[in-house]
A and B are shown apart, each in its own frame.
Chain A
Amino acid sequence: MLTKEELQNTLKDNCINLRFHARGGQGGVTASNLCVEAFHGFGVCQPKFGAERMGSPTESYVRLSLNDDLVRNNEQVYAPHVVSVLDPSLLGEIDVAAGLAPGGWLIVNTTIDQVSLQEVIGRNDINIATIDALNIAMEILGRNITNTIILGAILRVMPMFTVDALKDAVMARFKGSLAGKNIEAIKRAYDDTCIYETLDAPKLDFSKDTKIPWQQISLGLPGYKELDKAGVWYCDETVIEMGSKLVNTGSWGEWDMIWDKETCTDCAQCWFICPDFAILREKNDDGLWHMVGIDQGHCKSCQNCLETCPVKAITKQLKQGPASCAAPQ
């Protein structure tokens, strides 16, 4: 691991890139903002540009350096040196280690051990740190908000700034007892982080550019010569894979919708109102359509069906497991 002095020296003519993976509403962007605010030098924080929706996987990037010119770069971060994962349920959904520089650090909020984690990630040239942020959050903050806690863990492996500097940034952002509690949680996280340095991982080289050339072009998707006239996405063609079928919106929500077959009258009002076609229906022998269930893989628990059902055949139940992280308490 780099000492504070070594890192400060490196940052004089290099840039450190960080990436945060979270779900919309968990405060990944706040965490990256705090990095910029706490760092004594130049810093930029960008969200992954686009629309963020509650519970959907989000990314935000931070670029820090002591050289003003390097931080003027407005590119998105492709080759981060540190990746932090605020929500363990993201591990199965996206490739969190994508582009992570060899010798870089992956910091995960989880209770899983390093060996299993390395198997999930599939890389042995990076170092891993884990922190049971959920536990700390529930104990100190009383709610499942882990964004400041993960910063404590980052500082343990990458001393970009001191815990005191982070404390000042937190004090400026949060009010009263909330600031105090967050600072306590950060200190706890700093002490509790489990560090696994992979033996054969190379030394992290900040001067090396590990971005894959033309990564931003997304090779493999259709080129302009392959697009249909007028850019139309025809349903029966496969030029552009389309539809919300491809998006795992089921992991965004905090509730499971429970359907009661006995009460349901097949009025189909829920089918009309569902924005993700998650109400499943089948045609029976009598030639009529009947509801057969709810597609949990695409239900993002907007609860429109629950509101609209005239006979209360749909109820909700808080999701169990990691996806419930986004639930406001």
Chain B
Amino acid sequence: MKIFFKEIKEPIETAMIGNYAVAGGITQTDPDVICAFPITPQTQSVEGLSDVVNQGRLIAAFVNVESELAAISYATAACASGARTFTATASQGYLLMTEGLPMPVGWRLPLTMLISARAFNAPNLSIWNQWEYTQVNAELGWNIFVSENVQETYDAAILSTMIAEDTLFPTIFVHDGFIISHSVQKLTLIPDETVLRMTPKKPRHIIDTAKPGTWGGIVTPNYFMEGRANLENAKKPVLGQMQAAFDRFKSETGRQYNLIETYNLDNSSKTAFCTMGSMSGNIISWMTKNKDVGLIKLRAYRPFPVEELRKIVEEHNIEKLILLEKSDALNGLLPPFAMSIASALYPLGTIFRSFIVGLGGRDVTREEFTVTKKKMELVNDMKGPLYSYLGVRETKQKIEGVDQ
């Protein structure tokens, strides 16, 4: 964290853990209020920010609260009063926040939040990685985008501020708990001046004594639906604004991000993996030796880039998709990530199977990719079960669905 104690004047290559990279990125965007409750594996991001505030590097209100519900409530109010606000959470903390999550969307507040993805505790407690952000609260209207590595999560800290303030919707940026939050990777830091140029503090609607009004007052059925439709309408340009923020980021830093990123899609098998987050890196690494399969990596998860995904699948003639996701739903339909993909691709009728891997921090390795690729070669329709767990012990000596 020390590197952020003084002004960063030029791009510096350094190495640090994902959480400190986020804390550093947020520091550079000059937030006014930081209010978060620590929970593993997010803790160091808040710890790093308390450090820069204590050092006097960042002039901001660092607010200690007694719970995540207090954190989101405080952050919402701070943001409504005009402050640039950051909070962070994971897992059970995200659940405890739930009551406070819809309001920043309704009030169109550019609040930013880090989620260091971690499993929910059932039936046992787990502090390890799982995509809990897909399992709940994804439909409340927050923008959600996902990072693969430390460089991306550092950039996401800055991008989230840009996206939140351009779209006037609260924005969550996610990295995989432990896998990214606690790994030391090399990254290039952006000079302070560039960050501040990308994230100017623009005037917006705030709680103001000069312009009194009621925020969040009760409405009869005469009004409520119009309020919701108003939000839906405001959501429509968000993906375009996100891409515009990515493009602006590229012109300043040279690093290109997209709503969806693709690798080796024009392959011989017309098959592609589709996933998000750190697992994409594992697949890219595995693909150096397996060149007959492609990868679609989603960066934007909410709003879901429907048109973009359809265009990619159509343009590259993708026939089969292997969906890998670190979440399950116990609903008999599909796990949450696959449900989004299936709804988006319904008109195209693309064949897919969803594989649930890596729950509660189980490592996802080359075997999972080899097996799913092989299984997909035999799939030619949408009959039979569409999802299965992969990499789970059925009995002491048997892995389910794998011939050892």
- Chain B CB within 10 Å, residue with most, of A37, A46, A49: A49
- Is residue B316 within 8 Å, beta carbon to beta carbon, of the partner chain? no
Chain A residues with Cβ under 8 A from B49's Cβ? none
Contact string against A for B residues 179-191, beta-carbon threshold 8 Å, 1 for contact and 0 otherwise: 1101111100000
Chain A residues with Cβ under 8 A from B149's Cβ? 72, 74
- Count how many chain B residues have C-beta atoms less than 8 Å from C-beta atoms of the other chain: 47
Chain B residues with Cβ under 8 A from A45's Cβ? 15, 183-185
Asked whether B183 lies within 8 Å of A214 as measured between CB atoms, the reply is: no
Choose from A42, A74, A222 the contact partner of B180 (Cβ within 8 Å): A74
Chain A residues with Cβ under 8 A from B287's Cβ? 69
Asked whether B394 lies within 8 Å of A69 as measured between CB atoms, the reply is: no
- A42 CA to B183 CA, complexed, in Å: 14
Asked whether A231 lies within 8 Å of B184 as measured between CB atoms, the reply is: no
Chain A residues with Cβ under 8 A from B391's Cβ? 214, 216-217
User: Total contacts A to B, CB within 8 angstroms?
Assistant: 122
- Is residue A43 within 8 Å, beta carbon to beta carbon, of the partner chain? yes
Choose from B127, B282, B396, B402 the contact partner of A226 (Cβ within 8 Å): B396
Choose from A13, A32, A37, A224 the contact partner of B393 (Cβ within 8 Å): A224
Q: Given A75-B363, A214-B404, are A46 and B285 neighbors across the interface (CB < 8 Å)?
A: no
Q: Given A49-B179, A222-B396, are A43 and B281 neighbors across the interface (CB < 8 Å)?
A: no
Chain A residues with Cβ under 8 A from B392's Cβ? 217, 223-224
Chain B residues with Cβ under 8 A from A51's Cβ? 40, 127
- A234 CA to B25 CA, complexed, in Å: 47
Chain B residues with Cβ under 8 A from A73's Cβ? 281-282, 285-286
- Chain A CB within 10 Å, residue with most, of B182, B183, B184: B184
Asked whether B399 lies within 8 Å of A75 as measured between CB atoms, the reply is: no
- A100 CA to B358 CA, complexed, in Å: 24
Asked whether B396 lies within 8 Å of A70 as measured between CB atoms, the reply is: no
Asked whether A67 lies within 8 Å of B185 as measured between CB atoms, the reply is: no
Task: List the A residue with the shortest CB-CB distance to B148.
Answer: A72
Asked whether B15 lies within 8 Å of A33 as measured between CB atoms, the reply is: yes
- A170 CA to B132 CA, complexed, in Å: 39
Nearest 7 A/B pairs, CB to CB: A231-B123, A73-B285, A223-B393, A72-B281, A45-B184, A49-B178, A223-B395
12 further contact pairs, Cβ within 8 A, besides A44-B185, A75-B364: A43-B15, A45-B15, A45-B185, A49-B182, A72-B281, A74-B176, A75-B365, A213-B404, A217-B392, A219-B397, A221-B396, A231-B123
